[in-house]
Amino acid sequence: MSEQAHDQLLAEFRPQMLKFARLQLQDGAAAEDVVHDAISAALEGASRFNGRSALKTWIFAILRHKIVDALRERGRTVHISSLEKDEADLDEAFDALFTASAHWHPLSRPRAWGNPEEALEQRQFWQVFETCLELLPANTARVFMMREFLGFETPEICRNLDISTSNCHVILHRARAGLRLCLERGWFNTEGSPAC
Amino acid sequence: MLTCKEATHLISEALDRPLSWPERLRLRTHLAFCSGCQAFRRQLDFLRSASRRFLTRRDEDEP
C-alpha cells in the first residue's frame, strides 16, 4: 500500500476517531489533540500494514492508548453526579421485566438470541448497536465505554470518576441491562415469542 | 435462594471482579434452574465480545 493510500485511509478514519474520542473525553479540544497524536504516531509505522482492516485495528489501538493516557493524566476531574432522571427511567424499564417477587415476568424472560455472532458481520447490526449506545444516559455510557472499549479495570474507573465500587457495579449493570433490552427490541426481536 | 434480579447483578459483576466462592455457588445453583438467567448471561457475554469488536467493526463494504 502506498504512502498516499495510507494518508487517505487515515483521513477516512478521522471522523470516527474524533467521535469516539469526544464521547470518551467530553471535551472537543482534548479529543482533537488525542486524534492528532494518534494519527501522527500511526503515520510513522503505517507502511508495515497492508490492508484496511489491519490498519484500522492498529490505529484504533493507538487511539485507545492515547485516550487512556489523557484520562489518567486528568485524574479525578470528571464529576459523575448522583442519579439522574434518565438513569432512573432505565432502572424502571429494567424493574418492569420482573414480577413483584423479583423473578422474570413470563413475557419478558430472556430467550436465546440464536447465533448472535452472525450479527457482528452485518453493518446494520452495528448501526443498531451504536444507536443503543447513544440512547444510554451519558454517564452510564461513559462508564460502560471505559470498561468495555478502553479496557479499564473497575477499580481504576471508580478512582478516575471518584465513585464507590458498588456504584460502579450498579452503573455497569444498568448499562448492560439497558443495551441488552435495546438490542433485543431493535435487532433480535425475541421478546414476547413463545417459550418453546 | 437468589432472585432473578439479584442473579442479573451477580452475572454482570462477574464480568468486572472475581466472585467469592459463596457467590459463585449461589449463582451456579440459580442458573441450573433458570433458563431466563442463563440466556441473560449469554447475552451479556455477547455484549462483551461485540464491544471488543466495536472500534474495528465493519463499517463499509470490504472484501
In chain B, which residues have their Cβ closer than 8 Å to the Cβ of A52? 62
Could you say which of B9, B17, B52 has the minimum Cβ distance to residue A173? B9
The conformational region for residue A151 under phi > 0 = left, psi -120 to 50 = alpha, else beta, is: left
The pLDDT, as a whole number, for residue B63 is 38
Closest by CA position to A188, among listed A111, A93, A134, A107: A111
Count residue pairs from A and B with Cβ separation < 8 A.
101
pLDDT score recorded for residue A39: 87
Position A162 scores a pLDDT of: 81
Q: How far is A37 from B48, CA to CA, in rounded Å? A: 28
Residue B59: pLDDT band (50, 70, 90) is low
**Residue B15 and residue A151 in contact, taking contact as beta carbons nearer than 8 Å:** no
Q: How confident is the model at residue A41 (pLDDT cuts 50, 70, 90)?
A: confident
Share of chain A above pLDDT 90, in %: 28
Q: Which of A98, A149, A154 sits opposite B4 (nearest CB)?
A: A98
Residue type, A164: S
Provide the 10 A C-beta neighbour count for residue B51. Answer: 19
Express each pLDDT in A168-195 by its tens digit: 999 999 999 999 999 998 899 865 544 4
A97-133 residue pLDDT tens: 999 999 999 999 999 998 898 898 888 898 889 889 8
More confident residue, A91 or A23: A91
Nearest residue to B56 via CA among A132, A56, A55, A134: A56
Neighbours of A159 (CB within 10 A): 16
pLDDT at A191: 55
- C-alpha cell of B2? 437468589
Could you report the predicted ipTM of this complex, rounded to two decimals? 0.92
pLDDT reported for residue A156: 87
Please give the Cα distance from A120 to B59 (Å, whole number): 11
What are the distances in angstroms from CA A194 to CA A99, A109, A110, A118, B43? 18, 11, 11, 23, 19
DSSP string over chain B: ---HHHHHHHHHHTTTSPPPHHHHHHHHHHHHH-HHHHHHHHHHHHHHHHHHHHTT---S---
The confidence band for B61, taking pLDDT boundaries of 50, 70 and 90, is very low
Suggest the residue from A59, A120, A133, A152 to mutate for an interface test with chain B (most B CBs closer than 10 A): A120
Percent of chain A with pLDDT over 70: 89
The pair phi, psi for residue A48, each rounded to 5°, is: -75, -15
Q: What angle, rounded to 10 degrees, do the helices at A138-148 and A154-161 form?
A: 140
Whether this prediction's pTM lies above 0.90 is answered by: no
Q: Which residues of B touch A106 (CB under 8 A)?
A: none
Contact A120 B53 (CB under 8 A): yes
Report helix, strand or coil for A96.
coil
A169 touches chain B (CB under 8 A): yes
What's the mean per-residue pLDDT of chain A? 84
How far is A77 from A29, CA to CA, in rounded Å?
Answer: 16
